[in-house]
Chains A and B, each alone.
Chain A
Amino acid sequence: MKQRDDWHLTDALEYEHGRGDPFAAAVRATRMPMVITDPAQDDNPIVFCNVAFQELTGYTRDEIIGRNCRFLQGPETDPSTVTQLRESIAAGQAIDVDLLNYRKDGTTFWNALYLSPVSDKDGVIRFFFASQLDVTERVEAQNIINDQKILVEREVERRTADLRAALDAKTILLHEVDHRVKNNLTMIGSLLRLQVRTIDDPSVASKLDSMLERVDALAVVHRQLYQSSDISLFDIGSFAQSLVSDVVGSSGRSDIALDVQSQALFVDAANASALGLILNEILTNSVKHAFAEGRSGKLSLLVECGDDFGIIKICDDGPGMPSTARSKSIGTSLITRLARQARAEATWSDNNPGTCVTITFPQTEARS
């Protein structure tokens, strides 16, 4: 008797009576839908299906036997999965795929199909064994998750775009405000300078000049702030360096030698204006008093930083200033009070000859 006829025997087996092949009986009775196909016959037809398969698909055995498995496919079945399946069968390989299949009544189910070849002792494929599992719930749950993931991603994208637009608007606004501050500072400076030119009284003119220098110092602070990448920090070291060359340069004094030992020294931007004004007072005072009446000399700037504090020391080698005269000037009181505001300390000391002013202040996060 031919081997493939065995299946007909198995089919006819009265498993209730427990006779015949116990494995075949188990396959027939399992809840797992299963089919066996015969690749030796034309179009690899189904030669066996169990009851579970009939229940899953809604077809009777007569309607199933003799047909190729593709009769379960329909319009929504993914052609690329079908191609995968066909190639595996052609190559005689096992395959595990999820495939959308159709029942007799037209309803669909997701079929977790496992198909494997069964070879004889000579290695010739005699049958394909296929088990099916209805995984519609799992696939649909996965699809819902995927759909929701896409929705969430879209929403995140939309919100990100909103936030980016809001940030752009804020940046534009900040630049606009910046621009207006710059324009106003420039105009205030220009107005003061134009006014100074009309004043004949030298003492009044020199007081206005001092005002002008203060406005200029504020303008330089602002310019350095808006040009820096981090608007919360201010490099008082590079500010001091450019202010020294500006102040001495604009005095037109080539007989004042500069000794600058500077480095980057970052302070909280909130204190930038106060510290900038302090340095301006010290430097302009030096040029006016220490090097008065054409007296030449040396002006030195030293910027140092420790772990959590910074020091700026400005020294001249002029005649020095009596402390009584110093205490009366607006410059000195500006220095003292602005220093307090910036949590800094200003101390005057003798430079033998000349005066040193030392500003000690807390440094931001020691970022030098």
Chain B
Amino acid sequence: MTNMMEVLIVEDEMLLAMDIEAMVEDSGHHVLAGAASLRDVQALPGDLYPQLAFVDIHLAEESNGLDVCRYIRGHWPDALIVFITANVSKIPADFCGAHGVIAKPFSHAGIVTAMQYLANGMFDPPPSMPRPASLIPSPNLEPRWAKSAN
């Protein structure tokens, strides 16, 4: 499948991680790896190339998604990063460079349509479908589409 994204899931609540994995796979994308903490992310092999990362803010081992976001940007600068969190208010204004956030509790529709939109934008930027309400964009999303379109 040409429009298949390689997805990294960073979530410490295993039930939610399993659920997101299932939604990713059901949407025709591929779960590259799962991680529950910053250390897990740092331990990922260097030859992985995630195109999309779903990142929770509150993570295991006292780590947080903002640090994970910085690490991902350092190692895989092309990856789209979307926070999935109940703590939307804890995200700084610049989103640490991430592209958006999906608030918990998320709905199946919210995650699936967000993935459709992101895949659409990734493989044929800018996205032709309207941005779903579930995906709250960061200031970095529009510039990202503009950059990839060139």
Contacts and interface: CB of A to CB of B under 8 A. Distances in A.
A246 B15 contact: no
Interface in A165-221: 179, 182-183, 185-187, 189-191, 193-194, 197, 212-213, 216-217, 219-220
A329 interface: no
Interface on chain A toward B: helix, strand, loop, or mixed SS? helix
Interface in B1-34: 13, 15-16, 18-19, 22-23, 26
Contacts of A227: 88, 103
A301 B104 CA distance: 26
B64 interface: no
B109 A223 contact: no
Interface in A116-171: none
Contacts of B110: 216, 220, 246
Interface stretch (B36-44, B45-53, B71-79, B130-138): B130-138
A222 B22 CA distance: 24
B108 A189 contact: yes
A223 B103 contact: yes
Contacts of A182: 86, 104-105
A186 B105 contact: yes
Contact of B18 (A194, A212, A245): A194
Contact of B22 (A193, A246, A252): A193
Contacts of B109: 216, 246-247, 249-250
B106 interface: yes
B134 A246 contact: yes
Interface residues of A, number: 29
A315 B115 CA distance: 28
Given A194-B18, A242-B133, A246-B134, A185 B105 contact: yes
Nearest to B134: A246
Nearest to B109: A250
B130 A245 contact: yes
A246 B132 contact: yes
Contacts of B103: 223, 227
B86 A212 contact: no
> Which 7 A-B pairs give the minimum distances between C-beta atoms?
A250-B109, A190-B19, A216-B107, A249-B113, A219-B105, A242-B133, A246-B109
Interface of A: 179, 182-183, 185-187, 189-191, 193-194, 197, 212-213, 216-217, 219-220, 222-223, 227, 241-242, 245-247, 249-250, 252
